[in-house]
Amino acid sequence: MKYFVSDKNMFAIVNFFKEKNILVSLNDPAFKIAQFKNWNVERISYTSPIVLNQRLKEKEKEKEKKEGKNEKEEENNQVQNSPPLKSSTLITYTRKNRYKTDKEEKSFYELPEHSFSDENLYFWDGTHHIELNLNLRLKNIEVFGGHPVCEILENDRLLTKQVFQKLNIPTPPFEVAFSIDEAIQILKKSPFEKAVLKISTVSSSSPIATSIAPPQELASLLEENKALFEKAKNFIIEKFIEGKEISCERYTWKKQIGFFNFTIEAKKFLAGNLGVNTGCQFNLVFPDSLIDKIASLTKNKKEFQKVLYHIKEQLEKTKDIEAEILDINFIIDKDFNIYALEFTPRIGYLGTLSYAKILKDENFYWDYIPDYLEASFVPKLNLIAFGILLTLPPYPYTEIVKDPQLSPKDLYIEIQSFEETREDINIEIAPEGIEYDEDDKCFYSNSDYLASVHSTTTIDNISKLFSSTYSFIKDNIHAPNLQYRSDAENFFVEYFKSF
């Protein structure tokens, strides 16, 4: 049986149209959207039942103090444990009953606790619960993703550089500092016309991890914000390379390499490649089997073809790194030189969802992993995919804007169809921030990260890919102040023209 291990916002991958088994941790919103039917929801706990019971008693005492009840009465000090939910029980948190005071809501502690078994396969989509992940691996329980090395690769910029050097994967020239004062001095003396400052943080309190500017400006940034970065592990001062970015992903299972794919992303929030960097607003994904056809979209076909195969060769060097999903983000300069920038040792939004739709026509990756190692599974490696993110205000300033009047939750969302085929293009919605209200028989938002749309077609039909996807969105998804970039075709035309 396949189980998905969820943490915080890591529930977007779950397909609510099918039966899924999900393990949730404390304060995880995943189990709050389990009204999408037929989820088997169980909880992860690192503490013993005795400790949990003690915590429940302490919470009950605090509640009694607030209500002015007599704490000395023995019966009021006993915590009555609710019977565990059956796996088929549906936990409903819909727009109406979520705020009802006369209806008891199920808590995290009332979920049945999961018993890990070597008969199951467990999926991680992030670098959370690394201690649990390692313990399962040591017990020979099958786990996909989330190996402790993944967290290190993602957060320690110096180690990333050292791994690239060991594998002879080229990177931009760089210097390293181990204190903020040392970083400031290096920046002030740096010969780079433009530099990239990469900070390895020991906590999430640092407001930025990467910044690009002339070295003197970066030195001033650190001087003015010493308190924010004084606990950083190290600072990488890297030469800025002008060029185009592309990432290459590889998937392994039991140290066997399965598939490779490439992803080209638009990272800026606004059309015209303006605004803040959000990670990904839309993408174009293609398998390595289409390298030759993709290269035909460029002026220098042979050079671009050569560079993509070279990138794949670099990623093949990582086969011994214990990360079932791993990608390297590269930059290609005007002379077709490549430089590795960073690792992403986990699934990537939106890229992995788009690639999953190529492989199995479903934008939910755990439906195909590790199916690709089964002899009977024949993936559709002749398709390309386009993925685009749909959001609501105040995204991408969610952590800054706290005005309740601008809350993206509980807004009426009208959806005509979740999937459709237009002009030989298969289109599907991945509803990350959408929930269904059983009482109202309609959809509401539960996040400003509303949804993503993923489309697949053949390379010969690429001219219709973007326009058909945009028309699908306009015809099928209606939400107040819906946000998405509308310049995908122009973006990719310019991208390929640059080569």
pTM of the predicted protein model? 0.81
CA distance 126 to 344: 10
Please write the tens of the pLDDT for every residue from 400-443: 877 777 788 888 899 888 889 999 999 988 877 887 776 777 88
Specify the 3-state DSSP secondary structure of 135. Answer: helix
420 token code pair: 């459709």
Contact 232, 200 (CB under 8 A): yes
Task: For residues 386 and 388, give the distance between their C-alpha atoms in angstroms, rounded to a whole number.
Answer: 7
Q: Please answer whether residues 351 and 417 qualify as being in contact, where contact means their C-beta atoms are separated by less than 8 angstroms.
A: no
Most distant CA pair in the chain, distance: 83
What local confidence, expressed as pLDDT, does residue 45 receive? Answer: 66
Return the structure tokens found at 316. Answer: 């093949």
Helices and strands (H, E) in the chain, number of each type: 13, 22
pLDDT for 127 equals 80
Q: Enter the DSSP assignment of 170.
A: -
What one-character-per-residue DSSP string does 408-450 give? -TT-EEEES-SEEEETTEEEEEE-TTEEEETTTTEEEESSSS-
Q: Which pLDDT score, from 0 to 100, does residue 85 have?
A: 31
- Output the pLDDT for position 201: 64
Pairing of strands 234-239, 174-177: antiparallel
Q: What is the pLDDT of residue 48?
A: 45
Paired strand residues for 420: 427
How far apart CA 261 and CA 492 sit, in angstroms, is 17
Rounded Cα distance between 282 and 301, Å, is 24
Point out the residues of the chain with pLDDT beneath 70: 7-20, 26-39, 45-56, 59, 63, 66-107, 201-209, 255, 360-379, 438
pLDDT computed for residue 295 by the predictor: 97
- Residue in 435, 438, 474, 437 with CA at minimum distance from that of residue 453: 474
Query: Between the CA of residue 401 and those of 277, 394, 395, 397, 398, what are the distances in Å?
Result: 17, 7, 9, 6, 6
Element (H, E) at 383: strand 383-390
pLDDT at 90: 32
Task: Please report the pLDDT score of residue 6 as a whole number.
Answer: 72
Nearest Cα to 383, choosing from 489, 264, 261?
Answer: 261
Task: Tell me, rounded to whole angstroms, the distance of Cα 40 from its chain centroid.
Answer: 22
Taking only the tens place, the pLDDT of each residue in 450-468 is 999 999 999 999 999 999 9
In sequence order, what DSSP letters do the residues of 272-299 get, joined into one string? TTEEEEEEEEEEEEEEGGGHHHHHTTSS
What is residue 59's predicted lDDT score, i.e. its pLDDT? 67
